[in-house]
Amino acid sequence: AQKVTQAQTEISVVEKEDVTLDCVYETRDTTYYLFWYKQPPSGELVFLIRRNSFDEQNEISGRYSWNFQKSTSSFNFTITASQVVDSAVYFCALRGAGNNRKLIWGLGTSLAVNP
Amino acid sequence: DTGVSQDPRHKITKRGQNVTFRCDPISEHNRLYWYRQTLGQGPEFLTYFQNEAQLEKSRLLSDRFSAERPKGSFSTLEIQRTEQGDSAMYLCASSVGTGAPGTEAFFGQGTRLTVV
- State the pLDDT at residue B88: 97
Task: Read off the pLDDT band of A98 (50, 70, 90).
Answer: low
Express each pLDDT in B4-41 by its tens digit.
999 999 999 999 999 999 999 998 888 999 999 998 89
Best B107, B111, B112, B113 member to test A by mutation, with max A CBs in 10 Å, is: B107
- State the pLDDT at residue B101: 52
Q: Between B43, B89, B103, which is nearest A105 by CB?
A: B43
Distance from CA of B21 to the nearest CA of A (A): 16
Q: Is B58 on the interface with A (CB under 8 A)?
A: yes
Q: Is B99 on the interface with A (CB under 8 A)?
A: no
| A102·B102 Cβ contact <8 A | no
Mean pLDDT in residue range A32-57? 90
Mean pLDDT in residue range A65-90? 96
Express each pLDDT in B44-103 by its tens digit.
999 999 999 998 888 878 899 999 999 889 999 999 999 999 999 999 999 886 555 557
- State the pLDDT at residue B40: 86
Query: Considering only CA atoms, which of B4, B12, B31, B24 is closest in space to residue B113?
Result: B12
Please state, in angstroms and rounded to a whole number, the distance separating the CA atoms of residues B92 and B21.
10
| Lateral strand order in the sheet of B19-24 | B5-7, B19-24, B75-79, B65-68
- State the pLDDT at residue B102: 55
Q: Is B107 on the interface with A (CB under 8 A)?
A: yes
φ/ψ of residue B86, rounded to 5: -80, -10
